[in-house]
Amino acid sequence: MSKTQAAELTSIGLAIMNSTTDKQVLQRVQKLVAPYGGESLSAFDNMKLVVAVIAADGKSGSDDSVNHQASIAYEVTPHREDDSETDGDQSKQAFYCVQWQGLWIHCGLTNDYSASIQLLSHDGKLRPIKQSGLSDNNEHAIGEGTLGIIDIEASCLREVNLAVISLQQIEFMCMEYAHFDHC
């Protein structure tokens, strides 16, 4: 299969985002990413974090009921029907996401230095991943919003090759952000 064919299949898969996602996989991702829910990282670093925690979970084999395939990171540039771009229109801005087992995880807009990790649903809405111990009505739950309906089939998907970093490196990265965010 050529890269073009793979990209076309991937774009079709993204168009039906999460509509048939296994509930078990969804719960697994939420459990893996929730401890980092309060972190304020750049969108690119969020993408590195998601890829790292999924890879670490696969190596540990902690949940045999979930098939541990590799995650794929993408930069998604939504299709623009006209050249006029509104600054506040997030549905027209490029963003980073990670695809794993049919689930799409939104890591933030490409130019965002303080983004939250969210699940991208089939209707284009972002679902927050909450920190452990937060109730559903807590206002500190991260990231609520919508990207609007995204025409992914007409969008440009660019696979981002990331070196998978260790969980220790993730912890250092989070500490570094916390330190500089504080200063």
pLDDT at 87: 54
Most confident of 9-18, 134-143, 173-182: 173-182
* Least confident residue range of 27-41, 73-87, 92-106: 73-87
**Predicted confidence (pLDDT) at residue 173 exceeds the cutoff of 70:** yes
CA 54 to each of CA 34, 71, 82, 144: distance values in angstroms, whole numbers, following the listed order: 12, 7, 37, 23
Domain encompassing residue 66? 3-182
Q: What is the pLDDT of residues 40-58, one digit of tens each?
A: 899 999 999 999 999 998 8
pLDDT interval class at 80 (50, 70, 90):
low
Model pTM score: 0.70
Residue 18 is predicted with a pLDDT of: 47
Q: What is the per-residue pLDDT for 165? A: 94
Q: Express each pLDDT in 85-101 by its tens digit.
A: 555 556 678 999 999 88
The number of distinct structural domains making up the chain is 1
Please, what is the average pLDDT of the chain? 71
Type of residue at 54: I
- Write the DSSP string, 18-30: TTT--HHHHHHHH
Q: How confident is the model at residue 60 (pLDDT cuts 50, 70, 90)?
A: confident
3-class SS letters over 96-132: EEEEECCEEEEEEECCCCCECCEEECCCCEEEECCCC
The identity of residue 166, as a single letter, is S
d(CA 156, CA 14): 11
Mean pLDDT of 73-83: 76
Residues 64 and 138: their CA atoms lie apart, in Å, by: 32
Closest residue by Cα to residue 54 from 88, 22, 94, 100: 100
